[in-house]
Amino acid sequence: MAISMMEAYTIELLKTHPYTFEQIKQYIENDELHRLKETYDIDTESLKTLWNEQAEEMEQAFAGNYKVKFVTINGLRNLLRMRFQISDDQYELLPEGNGLQSLHVDPIIEQQIRAMLSSNWKVDRSGEQITLFV
């Protein structure tokens, strides 16, 4: 499922504070998404739209099976932090500003990152480290 950067942020935020997919589904079905807005500054309309257009895929996205349609460098940094708890001090920015290098992740996390990135991103592994770049 391809989602926007903001939809990915929303899903990752809700997962960490901890809402299950079933809870979110109930809020959507009962038209109670306003409850989320009381705590978080999120676009609940996008959740409703995702549900109405792709309910089955939304559950997969909530499980982490999504591709972000267009990923910026700052968006990538935020998603690495939100989804994988990878902080800025765990990698270096490429001098050209078009990617990250020296990131130590295991092959499972690497696969999840590859699956999440839009097609304009490349991932290279060199030993224990990966480089992500446009």
Q: What angle do CA 37, 66, 84 make, to 5 degrees?
A: 75
- CA-to-CA separations, 45 to 15, 20, 74, in angstroms, rounded: 18, 18, 24
Of 116, 17, 2, 13, nearest in space to 50 by CA? 2
Q: What is the dihedral of CA 80, 82, 88, 94, to 10 degrees?
A: 30
Structure tokens belonging to residue 57: 């895929």
Give the pLDDT score at 42.
87
- Which two three-digit tokens encode residue 63? 């499980």
What is the per-residue pLDDT across 104-118, written as a single tens digit (0 to 9) for each? Answer: 999 999 999 999 999
Name the more confident of 73 and 47. Answer: 73
pTM over 0.85: yes
pLDDT tens profile 25-56: 999 999 999 888 888 888 888 889 888 888 88
